[in-house]
Structure 1
Amino acid sequence: MFSWLARMASACWKPVRRYARMNKDDINDVDSMLGDSLLWCRDLEKHSLGEFSFAVVQANEVIEDHSQVETGQNATFVGVYDGHGGPEASRFIRDHLFLHLLRLAQENGTISEDVLRSAFSATEDGFLGLVRRTWGIKPLIAAIGSCCLVGVIWRGTLYVANLGDSRAVIGSLGRSNKIIAEQLTRDHNASMEEVRQELRSRHPDDSHVVVMKHGVWRIKGIIQVSRSIGDAYLKRPEFSLDPSFPRFHLSEPIRRPVLTSEPSVCTRVLQPKDKFLIFASDGLWEHITNQEAADIVHNNPRSGIARRLLKAALNAAARKREMRYDDLKKVEKGVRRFFHDDITVVVIFIDHELLGKKISVPELSVKGFIDTVGPSNFNILQGLM
């Protein structure tokens, strides 16, 4: 047991030693989380415009959050994929979306909103193809899907594309050195009145397209997110599940897609006042607000900041059950899901003085939670303008 804890401590501490000295409060913060066997972190690494911090905590029996950070000389890619119904869709996105983006960027000679949309579309087509091939032997794969949040920084411009209710927030410096949190993404969740109105306008002949169930608004009484990769049974009539799967049973077959895989996309030329970006699955935002998260990042050392955000969320989750985090971290995976969701957090710091400079940046591919670090394929875009 001690050797396992030592390995975990080393995984969290190694990047810290590399980039920053730690004060007493930082050491206490690390110590308070080392006993959480479901936590994974990379405390501080470099990217083309600064540094990033990355942390994940598991709650489900099998983790459904998959994620990645890809770094290159002129670009940074962040992907947060919050699966539901199983890990297959989020894992598929992690393994394919970035590669589709590289291929399409090469073909188009640049990265753009259209290239991002096409990468999402190719990933959706690929996963639905997998569903089609395996549905006969594993019908429940038709009910597996994933939210998908992607951010790309390409030569000083930020592109964000989103499906579902993961969220990207930018922290910008305002007056009196105060940080201002701005949400860059729109939550595609039936809890939002605008989402319910959008669904009703698209399906005027379906009075049950959104219904309240157990105090929660759900699409067809089943799912909360209105956009996703996968969830084939809510997009293609041929994948409707029979009554032997009551959780996913529809009272009548769909005539047209109820969910969509069309992402919301935005572009922002990064300004000197823009200091950092937070990409996180909805498990974080369930417990802390955009501004609370931005204040934590702004007011604390960079090293381990993603882990610090996780701790804030887990402390809040524990308080809701009249517990302490020290008690919560002893709860096993699976059971832990009754207290909080799988949570992924990536914080990207933006150092504008690095823009346009040729600095040595490791071209890395970091996959969240599974702790694999290898070379990124971003270098194939070196010649693009």
Structure 2
Amino acid sequence: MGHLSSMFNGLAKSFSTKKGRRSSKHDRREAAEAMVKDAKKNDLILCSSGTVNVDGSNNFVSVFSKRGKKGVNQDCCIVWEEFGCQKDMIFCGIFDGHGAWGHFVAKRVRESMPSSLLCNWQETIAQTSLDPDSDIYDEKKQRRFNIWKHSYLKTCAAVDQELEHYRKIDSFYSGTTALSIVRQGELIVIANVGDSRAVLATISDDGNVVPIQLTIDFKPNLPQEEDRIIKCKGRVLCLDDEPGVHRVWMPDEESPGLAMSRAFGDYCIKKYGVISVPEVTYRNISSRDQFVVLATDGVWDVISNEEAIDIVSSTIDKAKSAKNLVECAMHAWKSKRRGIAMDDISAICLFFHSYPPQDQVTLE
């Protein structure tokens, strides 16, 4: 990784002091931006269809995205291996934009979230006086998760606030979901805003590969979500030609008809119960856990958790696993949703064990 890699090795330590003092927010942001540039230079960041397979890493990642039939592809992804120049960390994020400016919103959040999360993560570590190299840090997984949770909550609030004041993008009637995972050693932290989904594949007692859903699809008709929206004077109802598809509406207007209860952007409806607060959870990876799939609702609208895990498990060339899952979802749209325009479909498959290089996935 070169000079920057050694400079930022032991991220929390390097941030906690600068010339004998605690670093400022400006210092931390500069450092995070430098790490982004370094990661891009060393091909550690992937923002399109393809694979990430870094020598010596315990991760192997396959990514694929396909435009639907509604116009420009509003899905986007990011994979950052050696996240924050930490050898045992990886960040994966998938974003599903909506509205006229949705693709711009999704890309803006993809651009700002990882570096903002790094800044908040190191700041939280410094505030808790926790040394990431100490035995205590390795042993206290719950405490480590709490640091990530606090960092994610702070990051999502900041990203949404900055987006509202970003004049180059009109996000008043447009927004994006955001689902991301940080793997740090044997800990995975999952943060979800919206209705994309993360599903883990693990080996059951009888030796079969089975799915475990790690996230909730934040739809407006979920009891806790609907209750919050109604208390804020928003409305949750289905259109006559879309039975079963619950949407959020303003009190006295037939807009925006948002099909999820959490999102970045969408400021027209924010005071009526739609929020950008993530649900943050974690899992300690066991020897039985094989991989995790992150995918936008274009996959889950037509593919079950079990089907997705079976598709990825049965793909011999793991580099093509995300593409295979997306293509299966495309075929399912044609058979299960005839007459309905196919949604954008994107998936990330994060394997917990590195694989030998295979033929590269064709970029689209």
Task: Find out whether 1:41 has 2:49 as its counterpart.
Answer: yes
Counterpart code for 1:177: G
Residue 51 of structure 1: which of 57, 60, 63 is its match? 60
Report the counterpart of residue 167 of structure 1 in structure 2. Answer: 197
Task: Find out whether 1:106 has 2:132 as its counterpart.
Answer: no
Task: Find out whether 1:94 has 2:130 as its counterpart.
Answer: no
Give CA deviations for 1:6-37 in whole Å, capped at 9, x if unaligned.
xxxxxxxxxxxxxxxxxxxxxxxxxxxxxxxx
Give CA deviations for 1:210-236 in whole Å, capped at 9, x if unaligned.
12213232111511111111001112x
Higher mean C-alpha deviation, range 338-347 or range 72-81: 338-347
Shift of 1:94: 1.0
Residue 347 of structure 1: which of 334, 349, 358 is its match? 349
Report the counterpart of residue 265 of structure 2 in structure 1. Answer: 230
The separation in 2 between residues aligned to 1:369 and 1:84, in whole angstroms, is: 26
The separation in 1 between residues aligned to 2:313 and 2:49, in whole angstroms, is: 19
Shift of 1:191: 4.6
Map of 1:257-276 to 2, 5 A cutoff? 257-276=272-291
C-alpha contact 1:279 1:345 (8 A) present in aligned 2 = yes
Shift of 1:199: 2.8
Report the counterpart of residue 70 of structure 1 in structure 2. Answer: 80
The separation in 2 between residues aligned to 1:281 and 1:181, in whole angstroms, is: 17
Q: Which has the higher contact order (CA 8 A, sep 6+)?
A: 1
Shift of 1:196: 2.5
The separation in 1 between residues aligned to 2:122 and 2:155, in whole angstroms, is: 12
C-alpha contact 1:66 1:369 (8 A) present in aligned 2 = no
Report the counterpart of residue 123 of structure 1 in structure 2. Answer: 159
Higher mean C-alpha deviation, range 44-53 or range 178-187: 44-53
RMSD over aligned Cα, in angstroms?
2.6
Counterpart code for 1:63: N
Residue 296 of structure 1: which of 307, 311, 315 is its match? 311
Gaps of 5+ in 2: 1-47, 126-131, 133-146, 355-360
Give CA deviations for 1:287-308 in whole Å, capped at 9, x if unaligned.
1001110111222222301011
Counterpart code for 1:286: D
The separation in 2 between residues aligned to 1:55 and 1:344, in whole angstroms, is: 6
Give CA deviations for 1:264-305 in whole Å, capped at 9, x if unaligned.
110111111111000011100011001110111222222301
Tell me the TM-score normalised to structure 1 length: 0.66
The separation in 2 between residues aligned to 1:178 and 1:128, in whole angstroms, is: 46
The separation in 2 between residues aligned to 1:350 and 1:176, in whole angstroms, is: 21
Give CA deviations for 1:129-173 in whole Å, capped at 9, x if unaligned.
11xx46xxx8x5311100010100012110000011000011110
Residue 177 of structure 1 aligns to a residue in which SS?
Answer: coil
Distance change (3 Å), C-alpha of 1:125 and 1:153:
same
Residue 189 of structure 2 aligns to a residue in which SS?
Answer: strand
Higher mean C-alpha deviation, range 339-348 or range 188-197: 188-197
C-alpha contact 1:276 1:350 (8 A) present in aligned 2 = yes
Report the counterpart of residue 283 of structure 1 in structure 2. Answer: 298
Residue 79 of structure 2 aligns to a residue in which SS?
Answer: strand
Report the counterpart of residue 315 of structure 1 in structure 2. Answer: 331
Counterpart code for 1:212: C
Report the counterpart of residue 144 of structure 1 in structure 2. Answer: 174
Tell me the TM-score normalised to structure 2 length: 0.69
The separation in 2 between residues aligned to 1:63 and 1:273, in whole angstroms, is: 35
Counterpart code for 2:96: D
Shift of 1:370: 8.6
Segments of 4+ in structure 1 off by > 6 A? Answer: 368-371
Counterpart code for 2:63: F
Distance change (3 Å), C-alpha of 1:44 and 1:305:
farther
Counterpart code for 1:315: H
Distance change (3 Å), C-alpha of 1:177 and 1:44:
farther
The separation in 2 between residues aligned to 1:282 and 1:369, in whole angstroms, is: 23
Residue 62 of structure 1 aligns to a residue in which SS?
Answer: coil
Shift of 1:44: 5.9
Counterpart code for 2:76: H
Aligned length: 274
Distance change (3 Å), C-alpha of 1:91 and 1:350:
same
Distance change (3 Å), C-alpha of 1:314 and 1:71:
same
Map of 1:246-257 to 2, 5 A cutoff? 256-257=271-272
Distance change (3 Å), C-alpha of 1:313 and 1:148:
same
